[in-house]
Structure 1
Amino acid sequence: MTTRYAALLRGINVGGHKKVPMAELRELLTELGHTDVTTYLQSGNAVFSSASADEKAIGTALERAIEKRFGFGVDCLVRSAPYLKAVADDCPFPADELEGKQLHVTYFSEPVGPERLASIDTAAYLPEEFRLGDRALYLYAPNGLGRSKLAEALAKPRLFKGIIATSRNWNTVLKLVELTRD
């Protein structure tokens, strides 16, 4: 029995740094024993099937393979199709009424409690808002991520020290759900 997964690579192919061609990423995943491999965009989204049920082990193996092939480290989160669908279904914002660039999900390597974000004065950033989910943070940024002051505040390293975090816009969130469907 196989499970559909998405691998979410953090910080590749941004500004010419940490270049990982998608064809080579597909090849690496296939070499690691995964099947039905496809990639989405150039920003580090791969979808595949695997007999393994261990997301963390799959991610660690991919991180090692990338470092061996390209000579640099890349954080990688692997999430199952049911998890990705649950994150989309549990969105606390009216996603159907928003543009994809207004809504983002940051996926975390482990659960994040509200105490990590207690120092953020949410009222100071309105109409921007965020909500926590299951190893995820939903960010509503009506003017887009590039202009978001709240996103800037949430990006402070001290908030999520020791946690891998990688963000995707809502269009990508939905596309990954679609691509991981059986």
Structure 2
Amino acid sequence: MKKYIILLRGINVSGKHKIPMAELRELLHNLKFKNVETYIQSGNIILDSEYSKEVICQKIEEGITNKYGYNIPALARTLEEWKNAIARYPFSLENEKIVAFSFLNEESKITDIEVKGIKDDKYEVDGDVVYLNCISGFGKTKLTNNNIEKKLNVVATTRNYKTTIKLLELATKE
């Protein structure tokens, strides 16, 4: 049995694709995942499974489509991959409020994206993660999840520093 952190793309955002977390946990239990936990309302899941990441994502996506009729992408990371993503963050962590991680459904072959008007905001594409340092603030940055998806031709879902660290804490607690 292996521990995974699963991120769902685009649920409970602006009232769209609403899925109550209690119902999501029940669905995941019914799909035979073990030790299922969710964190806040935006599709953050920790679970144990013997399946591969690809099978886990497929089962979750199909389960959500069958129950809710939503086409919601799921992205999975092992605990080691999650730790590695955090450890490789290339910018200053001095101001955690401007730090974020965009997790991608596959490695990007593109490492340089042209986004107009990013000002002092910074990004770095590193395999299946885009590291963000948004000095202008997340409400104003042009380095949005939608822009990242469009420029890299991938599915992405972004989590701020606080959520990324909290998911690690939850996944590693005894």
Supply the AA of the counterpart residue of 1:171. Answer: K
Compared with structure 1, are the counterparts of its residues 156 and 89 closer, same or farther at alpha carbon in structure 2 (3 Å cutoff)? closer
Output the CA distance in 2 between the equivalents of 1:28 and 1:153.
27
The alignment partner of 1:146 has SS state of: coil
1:23-68: CA deviation from partner (whole Å, max 9, x where unpaired): 111111111111111100100101111122x101100110000011
Q: Find out whether 1:39 has 2:38 as its counterpart.
A: yes
Listed as ranges, the gaps of 5+ residues in structure 1 are: none
Compared with structure 1, are the counterparts of its residues 4 and 130 closer, same or farther at alpha carbon in structure 2 (3 Å cutoff)? same
Q: Aligned residues, how many? A: 173
Specify the alignment match of 2:140 in structure 1.
Answer: 147
Would the aligned equivalents of 2:20 and 2:41 in 1 still touch at CA under 8 Å? yes
Would the aligned equivalents of 2:113 and 2:152 in 1 still touch at CA under 8 Å? no
Listed as ranges, the gaps of 5+ residues in structure 2 are: none
Specify the alignment match of 2:79 in structure 1.
Answer: 81
Spell out the pairing of 1:148-167 with structure 2 (5 A cutoff). Answer: 148-149=141-142, 151-152=143-144, 155=147, 158-161=150-153, 163-167=154-158
Specify the alignment match of 2:20 in structure 1.
Answer: 21
Spell out the pairing of 1:59-74 with structure 2 (5 A cutoff). Answer: 59-74=57-72
TM-score by length of 2: 0.91
Post-superposition shift, 1:157? 5.0
Compared with structure 1, are the counterparts of its residues 66 and 51 closer, same or farther at alpha carbon in structure 2 (3 Å cutoff)? same
Supply the AA of the counterpart residue of 2:109. Answer: G
Post-superposition shift, 1:174? 0.8
The alignment partner of 1:64 has SS state of: helix
Output the CA distance in 1 between the equivalents of 2:129 and 2:38.
22
Specify the alignment match of 1:91 in structure 2.
Answer: 89
Output the CA distance in 2 between the equivalents of 1:158 and 1:178.
31
TM-score by length of 1: 0.87
Output the CA distance in 2 between the equivalents of 1:76 and 1:145.
23
Output the CA distance in 2 between the equivalents of 1:126 and 1:60.
38
Post-superposition shift, 1:143? 3.1
Output the CA distance in 2 between the equivalents of 1:152 and 1:56.
25
Supply the AA of the counterpart residue of 1:98. Answer: N
Q: Find out whether 1:119 has 2:111 as its counterpart.
A: no
Q: Find out whether 1:58 has 2:25 as its counterpart.
A: no
Output the CA distance in 1 between the equivalents of 2:113 and 2:157.
21
